[in-house]
Amino acid sequence: MSAPSNDANEPRSVTLLLHCPLRLGIAASLTQFVYKHGGSILYHDQYVDPEIQHYYTRLRWDLSGFSLSDADTAAGLRGLIGFAPDAVWSLHFSDEIPRMAVFVSKDPWCLYDILARSQSGEWAVKVPVVIGNHPDLEPVATRFGIEFRHFPVTKENKDAVETEQLAFLERRRIEFVVLARYMQILSGRFVQAYPHRIINIHHAFLPAFPGARPYHSARARGVKMIGATSHYVTETLDAGPIIEQDVRRVTHRQSVKDLIRMGRDLEKVVLSRAVWSHIRRKIIVHEGRTVVFD
């Protein structure tokens, strides 16, 4: 099938994500490093939080004419950033396709959306496995030719199951996890194993209506808009760094059932925008918030 205008057609490139306390000349030294070795800059954006005088940048360059090997690139940057020992940075080569696991329960819409995007070439991502705490969505995974693993979770076995899941994810070399309407709360231990690498979709405009049954709460409160929020999972429920949000206008005419139906599209679009930003290495997390570059 013909790939839509996607990542796969692009020349090999590398993306640097970096943040550190603001100091003079960082941008210049980074861009000069790229130019000196024959790189062509494809994207460069930066942001300074004036309140905390903190610098954030995303720099992506074409490797076609770049003279350094990947290892030398990393080493070169390490030298360059050495003068900023408090910098946090990572380097992502465009042909290192991230491996993602999707966790589901019974609701299919986000899963369908994710699998369609990954298989049509819209996203440069590999989905080796779908994990369900119910077996209901196995046929969806199967339809897309993807392994489905059923891990039934109960209060009693949760600890043991998470141990199994973590081992399984490691065996499948999973880099990040998407909770696509997964109706289980992960333990702190699980979350710590994937810091800022578990993306959840919550079906409300956080911090309004955290927790269970937000559409029922929205209807009861009589709000005039419903929302969805995707965020990185932290140890506190629905309190992790927000990646993306969107809303849709409702009136008194919409029943809870209508809200649930209308909310589905919000959920899948908001989750997919978040996953895309994650895959494209556009997100820096710092102090409980995200910087999401364009």
Catalytic residues: 238
Is residue 136 part of the contact set for a copy of itself (CB under 8 A)? yes
**Of the residues 137, 153, 180, 201, which one makes contact with a copy of itself according to CB under 8 A:** 137
Question: 235-294: which residues touch a copy of itself (CB under 8 A)?
Answer: 241-247, 249, 251-257, 260-261, 264-265, 269, 272-273, 288-292, 294
**Mask for 32-71, x = binds a copy of itself (CB under 8 A):** x--x-----xx-x-xxxxxx----x---------------
Tokens of 283: 């997100």
According to CB under 8 A, which one of 21, 27, 164, 192 is a site residue for a copy of itself? 27
Among 37, 108, 166, 172, binds a copy of itself (CB under 8 A): 108
Using CB under 8 A as the binding rule, whether residue 13 contacts a copy of itself is answered as: no
**β-bridge pairing 176-179 and 99-104:** parallel
Q: Does 149 bind a copy of itself (CB under 8 A)?
A: no
Q: Which stretch binds a copy of itself (CB under 8 A): 13-21, 71-79, 107-115, 153-161?
A: 107-115
* Residue nearer to a copy of itself on the CB measure, 174 or 191: 191
What is the smallest separation between the CB atom of 279 and a copy of itself, expressed in angstroms? 13
**Residue 78 found at the interface with a copy of itself (CB under 8 A):** no
Q: Give the whole-angstrom CA distance, residue 270 versus residue 276.
A: 10
Give yes or no for residue 225 binding a copy of itself (CB under 8 A).
Answer: yes
Smallest distance from the beta carbon of 264 to a copy of itself, in angstroms? 7
The C-alpha atoms of residue 14 and residue 206 are separated, in whole angstroms, by 33
User: CB 273 → a copy of itself: shortest distance, Å?
Assistant: 8
Q: How far is residue 199 from each of residues 130, 183, 196, 221, measured CA to CA in Å? A: 14, 13, 8, 28
24: contact with a copy of itself by CB under 8 A? yes
Figure out which of the listed residues 89, 93, 144, 168 binds a copy of itself, where binding follows CB under 8 A: 144
Binding test (CB under 8 A) with a copy of itself, winner from 113, 162, 238, 267: 113
Of these, 206, 233, 271, 279, which contacts a copy of itself (CB under 8 A)? 206
Q: List the one residue from 57, 58, 107, 238 that touches a copy of itself (CB under 8 A).
A: 107
Q: Is 147 in the site for a copy of itself (CB under 8 A)?
A: no
Distance in Å, CB of 139 to a copy of itself, minimum: 5
Choose, by CB under 8 A, the member of 80, 161, 208, 237 that binds a copy of itself. 208
Q: What is the 3-state secondary structure (H, E, C) of the chain?
A: CCCCCCHHHCCCEEEEEEEEECCCCHHHHHHHHHHHCCCEEEEEEEEEECCCCEEEEEEEEECCCCCCCHHHHHHHHHHHHCCCCCCEEEEEECCCCCEEEEEECCCCHHHHHHHHHHHCCCCCCEEEEEEECCCCCHHHHHHCCCEEEECCCCCCCHHHHHHHHHHHHHHCCCCEEEECCCCCCCCHHHHHHCCCCEEEEECCCCCCCCCCCHHHHHHHHCCCEEEEEEEECCCCCCCCCEEEEEEEECCCCCCHHHHHHHHHHHHHHHHHHHHHHHHCCCEEEECCEEEECC
